[in-house]
Amino acid sequence: MALKTYLEATKTKYTKKYKAMNPSRITTTVGLNIGKIDVDGVRLNFWDLGGQQELQSLWDKYYAECHAVIYIVDSSDRDRVSESKETFDRMIASEHLSGVPLLVLANKQDIPDCMGVHTVKPIFNQNAHLIGARDIMLMATSALTGDGVDEGIRWLVDCIKRNSVERPPRNHDDNL
């Protein structure tokens, strides 16, 4: 649900006349949710991949074509943060994601007593060797309120532009 809410907040912020979905109607992603926005001459196509264990095996099929990854941590769920960390480690270990910019969002900062960036960072930095040589940013955000959305997207766009030599954008003709 976090990425779907984040995607809604992003589309609301960057798409003129976009009518956002009521947050109370947003449900957990099952399968795939797609969205796109244009920022500073860059088109961002979002593939919101369901996080359920049985769907994670499908993620690898999208890695070879991605130019960046947004990984959202539910900073209000202390009981599942280690599970999220294990999923994160499996994801970044993929050879297809080598060098791809990574935006990690400590989401739900609007919830009292959530884990702040200073708590989340050491947990996700335990296997820093898997992160390797790539741009990486850990930011506090609230997809529900929109706090941190703009900063994260702008950082990601800057990284994608810098990384375009290593991972050039695809032309529309390449999809044929």
pLDDT at residue 32, rounded to an integer: 64
Give the model confidence (pLDDT) of 12-38 as tens digits: 888 888 776 666 665 555 556 778 889
The answer to whether the annotation marks 161 as part of a ligand binding site is no
Residue 37 domain flag? yes
End-to-end CA distance of the chain: 32
Distances (CA, A) of 88 to 27, 51, 83, 85, 157: 22, 11, 9, 5, 21
Give the model confidence (pLDDT) of 131-167 as tens digits: 888 899 999 999 889 899 999 999 999 999 988 777 6
Residue 16 domain flag? yes
The answer to whether the annotation marks 109 as part of a ligand binding site is yes
Give the model confidence (pLDDT) of 36-67 as tens digits: 889 998 999 888 776 666 666 677 777 888 89
- The pLDDT-based confidence of 174 (bands split at 50, 70, 90) is very low
The answer to whether the annotation marks 108 as part of a ligand binding site is yes
Residue 174 domain flag? no
The domain spanning residue 87 has which CATH number? Answer: 3.40.50.300
Residue 175 domain flag? no
The answer to whether the annotation marks 56 as part of a ligand binding site is no
- Tell me if 48 sits within 8 A of 136, measured CB to CB: no
Residue 138 domain flag? yes
pLDDT at residue 172, rounded to an integer: 45
Give the model confidence (pLDDT) of 80-116 as tens digits: 999 999 989 988 998 889 889 999 999 999 999 999 9
Q: Are strands 102-107 and 32-39 parallel, antiparallel or unpaired?
A: unpaired
Residue 83 domain flag? yes
The whole domain housing 96 covers 2-168
Residue 38 backbone phi and psi in degrees, to 5: -115, 130
Residue 88 domain flag? yes
Strand partners, 39: 42
Residue 173 domain flag? no
The answer to whether the annotation marks 29 as part of a ligand binding site is yes
Q: What is the Cα–Cα distance from 62 to 29, expressed in whole angstroms?
A: 16
For residues 64-72, give the mean pLDDT: 89
State how many domains the chain has: 1
